[in-house]
Amino acid sequence: MAQSTEEAGYPLADLKVLDFSRVLAGPFAGRMLSDLGADVVKVEPPDGDITRLWGKVIGGIPGYYNQQNAGKRNICIDMRAEGARELVFELVKKADILIENFRPDVMPRLGLGYTSLKAVNPRLIMLSISGFGQGGPESHRPAYAPIVHAEVGLMDRQSRRGDIPFRDLPLSVADTNASLHGLVGLLSAVIHREKTGLGQQIDIAMIDATIATDDQLHFDLEDSEHSGPLPNFAWETGAGPILVSADVRYLWHLLTTQLGVEDPTDKEMEFDKKIRLRREKITEFMAAFASLEEIETTMAKMNVAWGRVRNASTLQEQATVKARGAITQVDDRAGGTRPITQSPYRFSNAKSGVRGPTSHRGEHNHEVLREWIDKPLFEIDAMIEAGVLQFDAEMLPAE
């Protein structure tokens, strides 16, 4: 996807990014940079990103990989091949940013550690995301999001508060938190480079990012969970389950003082029985709702926030999601389109958004090398012949 005058409205249109990352923490950062206009080139190994195995396959591209890599161009380099490191150095000379999320020892073993890359391009900004950070006592440990969820207490808290067995969260919070904090670091480093002329390495540990973003952590650190608000409850209604975001004590007060619900308890009643009877009364009240319109009117009268407990498969029907285009369509590489998450950034004087389909492995070997480093066609073909560059022959014709 070559840069053009059409990219002028995107705030990051002048940035060149090499994305060596895989799975989620790195690729998500690269996807957001692409949505903001950067020319993001995913550098994929011959065996591919593991997420090419996950999700519905359309046009040879699985859903998980599609969501995190749309809009990026793709080159496939076998780093074990002779000449591969030198090719990467040529690309690094032209790059603004490099993203990787291997264990801290991997890039140095490939000869691509920050010290080596900085010698090639002192302006390079390198985002390194790992589970436990660079140079620490656990830097050697492999980590995916569930490992961090366990280590920082999220699984334990979910178990305690939900009275359920230990199990992982239904989304990869540790990965996306690290990725978003990585984006903040990257853009800060870009601004800093404008002042100093120098790049730098940004060390983002998933464990740090998750802790920093945990708004409930202080309750655990200070043994003060009893001082927090009561949990929000979901209630069954005739129009489906809803969640009401209000302390149940306050909700009860509103129901009895504003909507005429009768209190079935008296002052002499045992506390546990009083709670049970009031909860039963709220359950009965909620079950009587026949429509979402009726719920909306009643909750608005009490000035209480509420939401449908929705299956995500229906998300495209949600009014705000539909109005804002939070789910959009992208080329499915098979003659049609498929749903994908849209960029969340809405600017008053700039553009953002997914800028193209997801690439097959090695699809842009020729295009990127000719654009970025003016590599002659015969040299690119020679590298393909030597196995330095590879491509998905099943999906793409030989270049």
280-316: pLDDT as tens digits:
999 999 999 999 999 999 999 999 999 999 999 999 9
pLDDT reported for residue 92: 98
Q: Are 88 and 43 in contact (CB under 8 A)?
A: yes
The answer as to whether 231 is a domain residue is no
Round to whole Å and give the CA distance between 377 and 143: 40
Confidence check: pLDDT of 399 > 50: no
In a domain, 226, yes or no: no
CB-CB contact of 46 with 5 (8 Å): no
pLDDT tens, 133-172? 999 999 999 999 999 999 999 999 999 999 999 999 999 9
Tell which of 250, 276, 308 closes a domain. 308
- pLDDT classification of 351: cutoffs 50, 70, 90: very high
**Mean pLDDT lowest for which of 6-10, 93-97, 299-303, 361-365?**
6-10
| DSSP SS3 for 287 | helix
| Residues 291 and 160 grouped into a single domain | no
Are the beta carbons of 246 and 232 closer than 8 angstroms? yes
Joined tokens for residue 365: 């070997």
pLDDT in tens, 27-64: 999 999 999 999 999 999 999 999 999 999 999 999 99
Residue 133 token pair: 């950070």
Q: Count other Cβ atoms within 10 Å, centred on residue 206.
A: 32
List all residues 6 or more positions away from 151 whose beta carbon is below 8 Å from its beta carbon: 207
Mean pLDDT of 82-94: 97
Q: pLDDT-derived band of residue 394, with 50, 70 and 90 as boundaries?
A: confident
Asked if residue 118 and residue 20 are part of one domain, the reply reads yes
Rounded to 5 degrees, φ, ψ at 243 are -110, 130
Q: Which of 277, 308, 339 is the last residue of a domain?
A: 308
> What confidence score (pLDDT) does residue 188 get?
98
Mean pLDDT, the chain, as a whole number? 95
**Do 125 and 189 reside in the same domain of the chain?**
yes
**pLDDT average, residue stretch 88-92:** 98
Work out the pLDDT band at 396, boundaries 50, 70, 90.
Answer: low
Q: How far apart are CA 278 and CA 229, in angstroms?
A: 18
Q: Which residues are catalytic?
A: 175
Asked if residue 210 and residue 75 are part of one domain, the reply reads yes
Confidence band for 397, pLDDT divided at 50, 70 and 90? low
- 190: how many CB neighbours lie within 10 A of its CB? 15
**Of 175-184, 225-234, 273-282, minimum mean pLDDT range:** 225-234
Is pLDDT at 4 greater than 80 in this prediction?
no
List beta partners, residue 18.
Answer: 41, 98
Same structural domain, 147 and 290: no
pLDDT for 2 equals 44
Rounded Cα distance, 251 and 265, in Å:
16
DSSP-based three-state secondary structure for 181: helix
Average pLDDT score over residue span 221-250: 94
CA distances from 152 to 10, 156, 225, 226 (A): 37, 9, 16, 20
Whether residue 303 is contained in a domain is answered as yes
Helix, strand, coil share (%) of the chain residues, nearest 5:
45, 15, 40
CA 185: distance to chain centroid? 16
Whether residues 280 and 336 share a domain: the answer is no
At 208, which CATH number?
3.40.50.10540
CA dihedral defined by 10, 14, 20, 21, rounded to 10 degrees? -30
Burial class of 63 by CB neighbour count within 10 A (0 to 12, 13 to 18, 19+):
middle
Q: Is 135 exposed, middle or buried (0-12, 13-18, 19+ CB in 10 A)?
A: exposed
- What's the whole-model pTM score? 0.91
Give the per-residue pLDDT at 3.
46
Q: Which of 43, 25, 32 is nearest to 127 (CA)?
A: 25
Mean pLDDT confidence for 354-367 = 96
Q: State yes or no: pLDDT of 398 exceeds 80.
A: no
Looking at the structure of the chain, the number of domains it has is 2
For range 346-370, the mean pLDDT: 96
- 234: in domain: no
Q: Which structural domain range is residue 249 located in?
A: 242-308
pLDDT at 372: 97
Q: What percentage of the chain exceeds 90 in pLDDT?
A: 94
- Give the CA-trace dihedral at 114, 115, 120, 125, to 10 degrees: 40
| pLDDT value, residue 6 | 62
Interatomic CA distance for residues 314 and 321, integer angstroms = 10
Whether residue 232 lies inside any domain: the answer is no
The pLDDT tens digits for 218-234 are 999 999 999 998 899 99
Residue in the block written with tokens 């801290």: 104
Same domain, residue pair 155 and 40: yes
Q: Tokens 């209190």: give the residue.
A: 263
